[in-house]
Structure 1
Amino acid sequence: MKRVTGIGGIFFNAKDPVALRAWYKDHLGIDVQGWGGAAFTWSDGGTTIWSIGNADGGHFAPSQSTFMINYRVDDLAALLQALRDEGCNVLEKTDDSEYGKFGWVMDPEGNKIELWQPPAGQ
């Protein structure tokens, strides 16, 4: 089974997200949009999302990290089951939305990892 096929997104928490977004825009040229991030388009049409959010948002919980990486996968349900079978700390919550299917696993260092299966055709 193919597991990770690419990076779907990189998410940061910041004490002052507005200032940090401005720094990345001014100094690294990242085209930060009004929603707080940017989308980098791949040559095959896929995208990697880059976003800075508020440190108080709680989206990274139970991790204490200030970042979370979203990995693109082909078959979320199969991968989550394989990770459970391998003894990994897979979080029970999953999400299915217009943006695709999402699941989460904690790495051995306590970092929350987001797994994303894009909607069909993306």
Structure 2
Amino acid sequence: MKFNPFVTSDRSKNRKRHFNAPSHVRRKIMSSPLSKELRQKYNVRSMPIRKDDEVQVVRGHYKGQQIGKVVQVYRKKYVIYIERVQREKANGTTVHVGIHPSKVWPGTGQW
């Protein structure tokens, strides 16, 4: 039994709300989990990622690379762009690779 009748568990409605969310709600969705030390220090599990935060990728193809600064937070696509996470296009130019904020840890710099 549900405790709150205004909260739905319908998958299609939840997907609709996720993809049609306004910018101020997307900020909250685009949070990053904190490391165990930072969790104990601040008594919070995750925090929204901002531009100029120092983060480290902990999941995916680019994990384990050095700590880099967040260059851009792209709320429309639910991704962040990190300074050192780039790839080369076919024509030779380098572009930043979008990483989901839940796959990074904030570094020791800003926090």
TM-score w.r.t. length of structure 2? 0.27
The answer to which structure has the higher helix fraction is 2
- Greater Cα radius of gyration, structure 1 or 2: 2
The answer to which structure has the higher strand fraction is 1
